[in-house]
Structure 1
Amino acid sequence: MRRFLVSRVLAVLAVLALAGCGGGEVRDGSAPADSSISGSPGGMPATKDATFVYLDNLDIVTDWDPASSYSNEISAMQNIYDSLTVYNPLIKRAGPRLAESWTASQDGKAWTFTLRSGAVFHTGRPVDADAVKASIERTKRMAAGAAYIWDPVQKITVLDPLTVQFTLKYPAPLDLIASADYAAYIYDTEAAGSGDLKKWFQQGRDAGSGPYTVASWHKGREKELVLRAFDEYWGGWDGPHYKNVEYRVVPNQNAAWQLLLRGEASFVERLNSSLFRRAKATAGVRTRQVPSFQNMLVLFNSASGPLRDVRLRKAVQKAIDYDGVIAALKGAGDPAAGLVPEGLLGHVPGMRPRQDLERAEELLREAGYGPGGRELRLTLTYAEGDNDEQLLVTLLVNALSELNVKVDARAMQWNAQWNQAKSADPAKRQDILVMYWWPDYADAYSWFLNVFRSADPVSFNLTYLKNKDIDERIDKLQSLLATDREAAQKEYAGLQTELIDKRAVVAAPWVVNYQRAYLGNVSGYADNPAYPNVVFVHQLIPTA
């Protein structure tokens, strides 16, 4: 998916340099360890008037409500809103944000968070325990987007103005959940007064406590969104900072590259492989290629059509040219091992798939198809305009054609692709769906809950799998993660064996590597894979 735009490769991840639990910044002005810079940063113009210009290839905002937001606006929202905690990739745990500290009961069912003193919303009201309670309860009540992350919460109790306690229905890692990229935002529920808060948000307003607030929003324009510094931000503004953030929509990568070269943009969220190679050799431009928590999924329709036969699903799975597509991606992807990317609990290094055309042919023949047998006809949908998905599909269609399998592959806009996949009429659904997935917080749980647990009506369970045993195993994952990480790792591994090897409802060809370019005068940039598409601009240092 993702969300409404997951079907496009997302090239920008987070910028957050955290030291230990304290979330300290990288402030030495040097290039990040795994970035490259050609020539001198002084070779490019300085960022004008301390404005950070972020170029995206897609519209920025589809939903302004922090309770239901579940799309591209994450790149701006994480600069406008705070959550209680933030994921720290160095220690692979949650670190402080609005909450300075927290404790959990031994059984993992009671969590107490202590808030930092002095934080205020952009509306002027204090970020206190009452506000935290009201915001999370509204998000839960609306039950939209990623609101499911709060499902374990049974009750929220205000102990004092800076202390809030959560009572859970079952053990869950609430500190990690509270760092989620969506639905964990804390916001002022009184921002609209007696008016309709959702309508108030959708006019391009915000009620966050982050470093930036909305200055202007023009849907459909190239310069879609401008943020300005919030003077009372609890993180402070001492030292050099970008005081403005401008989000521009530039679908053409060559045009984006030219804007960067002229110093009219600070950051390009994605370049193709040829432009990325040029960027690496260009004076005054920094480049980064880093692994992500985002992977490609090929989902097989296990409920209707010819792929109800597990032998045919396995045949298609084994026809994928895993090594060939990795070579053709030219660094934009690394081989996947199972469903869970490296760096997350649940990753299984030994699950790397391989193409096996001989076995694919055997399976087809067993089912009455293949060379010399009946022609197997399949439908496949993928994202229009995504070169990497098109590459995968082309290789797969060619490999299957040699096995007497004809694939009708259709490039579609995500909403059209998703609506077809969710059709109430099984006959209208595709046999194979290609899409991306990344976690809602830094754990593998969302792959299993959203993509493979039974769902009625269908949302993202686009393999249409319905299995009571698998559902029950998925439902226990959060409790295992909170109480027994070793057991959780074993269960994640077991579920992947069940879904990939035994039931063959999915293939995972690669994990995305983000390739991005930015001006050499942007310092302090680091990466946090838990927040796709996000540059945490307050952490950056504009230099001459």
Structure 2
Amino acid sequence: MRRCLILGVALLALVGCGTGEIRTDVRENVVRAKEATFVIADNLELVTDWDPATSYSNEISAMQNIYESLTFYNPVTKRATPRLAESWTRSADGKVWTFKLRSGVYFHTGRQLDATAVKESIERTRRLAAGAAYIWDVVDTITVKDELTVEFRLKYAAPLDLIASADYAAYIYDTRAAGSKDLKEWFNEGRDAGTGPYTVDTWRKGKENELVLRAFDKYWGGWEGPKYRRIEWRIVPDQKRAWQLLLRGEVNFVERISPALFAQAKRTAGIRTLQVPSFQNMLVLFNTASGPLRDVRVRKAIQKAIDYRGVIAELQGAGTLASGLIPEGLLGHTPGMEPKQDLAAAAELLRQAGYGPGGRELRLVLTYAQGDEEERKLAESMARTLKQLNVTLETRAMQWIPQWNMGKSRDPAKRQDIFVMYWWPDYADAYSWFRNVFRSAEPISFNLTYLQDWTVDSKIDRLPSIVATDRNKAQKAYAELQKILLEEKAVAAVPWVMNYQRAYLGSVRGYTDNPAYPNVVFVYDLIPSG
């Protein structure tokens, strides 16, 4: 279950001093030690919610190894491909979709997958209406046609094959797993009811060695050939320590690594690196409901004060200057919306609001994720720049769950002024940014600008049907919404789109990133070899 301490000590002794280089014999020892176990170093607490219907946070990296959806997004073809569904058809008007399921698929509970199980899981997800459950709002009825055939009738035309590949809320699970007990409580004790290659072994909430998954022997894909049969997650906020664990062979994969360490990793024998563009961007969300940022002039001033290009330079390849809310590669990406620093305009806006040089001191609180070097650099850069404008920015590094809880506080006085976080789409479409982050909602979830604007809401609600029927019109609708939110209402700043920088042991073969499933390592697809 856990690696022998003696092995770790032996590896440490054999690491080349000062260079981080691992000798060939050490790399071979690492391969033999890790054939059965793949260890991931993550910088944030992993599990916030074990229920596949409502899960909507960092646990995605585990859940995508435990659960499966009807379809899967292929980033090369930019289309949905088979997963639990072998094939599907759609009516000419795009409102009736019929999926044919794989045969011989079992849930980890022992129940066999059939059309009834698909219907039951999606209907429960819809009924709970939490997290990304909105993806199924387009569905009118679900009908079991036969044991392995399920039909969806939609309220309006929509790309259901793409929706069914979503990274959250599209999971198919055994709704009968808990028997007479409450299923949500059953899940949140650290149990699962998926069909994926791995099932939960142990979960230790709040511990560094938080989670272990083990191989599900009846997995429909089989276990022939070399495979990792266990996955472990270690929560290591300190990226330097995560790097040292990788060098010692105590972890196989470091999800987040600073640009400086990434540059070192590229020069280190026995270590592989990968840098790829993503669908994940950095959001600086302004509190429009309480505090000084209720004034749009102040929000625009903070927007204009950010040293965007300076921060990009500090990221050393880990980020690319954003153009609007939507990353390149998704419908709605709008060139020409790159943000620019303008300190003179920022000072004038602050003066108009009664702050700035020569005016009242403005004090703001910004929260960001503890252990995230890129977010730290952004926070420190903003604090330095704003100080020139008589703005004191208190930056707080917080673990994700306490930060999120602060943002969701029912007491507006307890919320932050600026909430820094990453966002990525729930499926490979930009609707996710608008529906989740900027649409009015109660209770608060990720709409952490607290914007309440019914005109904006109506424009957001029309997006899915426009996307399904007229892509040119959808492109214009996305561009219009971005200008309203970023330029007119100034509810957020978008400094960059992430470039993922990964480091992992040279013994790991077959790793790649899929931008539709951010920070997910599909461990079953990897090959442990020398």
Q: TM-score, normalised by structure 1?
A: 0.88
2:252 alignment counterpart: 266
Q: Distance in 2 between matches of 1:368 and 1:220?
A: 45
Q: Distance in 2 between matches of 1:308 and 1:409?
A: 19
* Deviation (angstroms), 1:363: 2.3
2:444 alignment counterpart: 458
Q: Find the residue that maps to 1:461 and give its secondary structure.
A: coil
2:52 alignment counterpart: 66
2:478 alignment counterpart: 492
1:23 alignment counterpart: none
Matched, 1:76 2:68: no
2:196 alignment counterpart: 210
1:227-273 Cα deviation digits (max 9, x unpaired): 22223222222332222222233333333323322323211222223
2:13 alignment counterpart: none
Q: Distance in 1 between matches of 2:75 and 2:441?
A: 32
Judge which range, 332-341 or 379-388, deviates more.
379-388
Q: Distance in 2 between matches of 1:216 and 1:430?
A: 35
Matched, 1:193 2:171: no
Q: Distance in 1 between matches of 2:262 and 2:211?
A: 26
Gaps of 5+ in 2: 1-20
Q: Is the 8 A contact 1:75 1:533 kept in 2?
A: yes
Is the alpha carbon distance of 1:421 and 1:78 closer, same or farther for their aligned partners in structure 2, counting shifts above 3 Å?
closer
1:243 alignment counterpart: 229
1:20 alignment counterpart: none
Q: Is the 8 A contact 1:42 1:520 kept in 2?
A: no
Gaps of 5+ in 1: 1-36
Give the 5 Å matches for 1:424-435: 424-435=410-421
Is the alpha carbon distance of 1:211 and 1:357 closer, same or farther for their aligned partners in structure 2, counting shifts above 3 Å?
same
Matched, 1:325 2:304: no
* Deviation (angstroms), 1:436: 1.6
Matched, 1:165 2:162: no
1:336 alignment counterpart: 322
* Deviation (angstroms), 1:39: 9.5
2:39 alignment counterpart: 53
Matched, 1:227 2:217: no
2:14 alignment counterpart: none
* Deviation (angstroms), 1:313: 1.6
Q: Is the 8 A contact 2:48 2:401 kept in 1?
A: no
1:147-182 Cα deviation digits (max 9, x unpaired): 222122221100111111112223322211111111
Q: Is the 8 A contact 1:85 1:179 kept in 2?
A: yes
1:460-491 Cα deviation digits (max 9, x unpaired): 22222222211111001111122222211111
Letter in structure 2 aligned against 1:326: I
Letter in structure 2 aligned against 1:214: V
Q: Distance in 1 between matches of 2:507 and 2:406?
A: 46
Q: Find the residue that maps to 1:102 and give its secondary structure.
A: strand
1:284-325 Cα deviation digits (max 9, x unpaired): 110112222211111122233332332222111110000000
Matched, 1:389 2:375: yes
* Deviation (angstroms), 1:130: 0.6
2:76 alignment counterpart: 90
Judge which range, 364-373 or 519-528, deviates more.
364-373
Give the 5 Å matches for 1:358-507: 358-507=344-493
Q: Is the 8 A contact 2:255 2:503 kept in 1?
A: yes
Q: Distance in 2 between matches of 1:362 and 1:225?
A: 51
1:542 alignment counterpart: 528
Q: Distance in 2 between matches of 1:433 and 1:204?
A: 30
Q: Find the residue that maps to 1:175 and give its secondary structure.
A: helix
Q: Distance in 1 between matches of 2:479 and 2:363?
A: 33
1:17-56 Cα deviation digits (max 9, x unpaired): xxxxxxxxxxxxxxxxxxxx99979845314243222222
Letter in structure 1 aligned against 2:256: R
Of the three residues 478, 501, 507, the one matched with 1:521 is: 507
Is the alpha carbon distance of 1:357 and 1:153 closer, same or farther for their aligned partners in structure 2, counting shifts above 3 Å?
same
* Deviation (angstroms), 1:431: 2.8
Q: Find the residue that maps to 1:351 and give its secondary structure.
A: coil
Is the alpha carbon distance of 1:492 and 1:484 closer, same or farther for their aligned partners in structure 2, counting shifts above 3 Å?
same
1:174-217 Cα deviation digits (max 9, x unpaired): 21111111111111112222333223323322211111222333
Letter in structure 2 aligned against 1:52: F
Q: Find the residue that maps to 1:349 and give its secondary structure.
A: coil
Is the alpha carbon distance of 1:472 and 1:261 closer, same or farther for their aligned partners in structure 2, counting shifts above 3 Å?
same
Of the three residues 276, 279, 285, the one matched with 1:299 is: 285
Q: Distance in 2 between matches of 1:221 and 1:312?
A: 41
Judge which range, 197-206 or 475-484, deviates more.
197-206
Root-mean-square deviation (Å)? 2.2
1:316-375 Cα deviation digits (max 9, x unpaired): 111000000011112221111111111211111211111111222232333343323343
Q: TM-score, normalised by structure 2?
A: 0.90
1:421-452 Cα deviation digits (max 9, x unpaired): 33334344333222221111111111101111
1:33-92 Cα deviation digits (max 9, x unpaired): xxxx99979845314243222222333333222112222222121111110011111122
Matched, 1:180 2:166: yes
Q: Is the 8 A contact 2:237 2:370 kept in 1?
A: no
Q: Distance in 2 between matches of 1:481 and 1:141?
A: 25
- How many pairs align? 508
Q: Distance in 1 between matches of 2:524 and 2:213?
A: 12
Q: Is the 8 A contact 1:310 1:503 kept in 2?
A: yes
Q: Find the residue that maps to 1:538 and give its secondary structure.
A: helix
* Deviation (angstroms), 1:93: 1.9
1:152 alignment counterpart: 138
Is the alpha carbon distance of 1:117 and 1:393 closer, same or farther for their aligned partners in structure 2, counting shifts above 3 Å?
same
Judge which range, 292-301 or 246-255, deviates more.
246-255
Is the alpha carbon distance of 1:402 and 1:248 closer, same or farther for their aligned partners in structure 2, counting shifts above 3 Å?
closer
Q: Is the 8 A contact 1:294 1:438 kept in 2?
A: yes
Is the alpha carbon distance of 1:367 and 1:221 closer, same or farther for their aligned partners in structure 2, counting shifts above 3 Å?
closer
